[in-house]
Amino acid sequence: MKNPDPRAFRPLNTPRPVRVRTGEGGRPLVLHLNGGGQKVLQILEIWQIDEEWWREPISRRYATLTLEEGRTVTVYRDLLEDRWYLQEG
């Protein structure tokens, strides 16, 4: 059987790893984007998803943040891997 071309299908909005400095209670304080640190001015929203416990569990805590430069970004902490990712919510 012919192998499918991996270029034929691409997921969109895949999470990208990001370095995050956290504070008390795991609150994100600084995001390291494009080599520079951006202070988090405000956490606009926090939500958690726990899915697919019956096969490969997914557990993420998302946060929408306002950065000091004025940008709004969404990040999540993978609660199983304990890693941070950048992704549009």
The dihedral over CA atoms of 32, 36, 40, 43, expressed in degrees to the nearest 10, equals -50
**Rounded distance between C-alpha atoms, residue 69 and residue 17, angstroms:** 20
Among 66, 78, 83, 86, binds another protein (CB under 8 A): 66
Max intra-chain CA distance, the chain: 54
Q: Which of residues 41-60 bind another protein (CB under 8 A)?
A: 41-42, 49, 51, 58
Least distance between another protein and beta carbon 42 (Å):
5
Least distance between another protein and beta carbon 74 (Å):
9
Q: Report the interface residues with another protein, using CB under 8 A.
A: 5, 7-15, 39, 41-42, 49, 51, 58, 66, 68-70, 72, 87-89
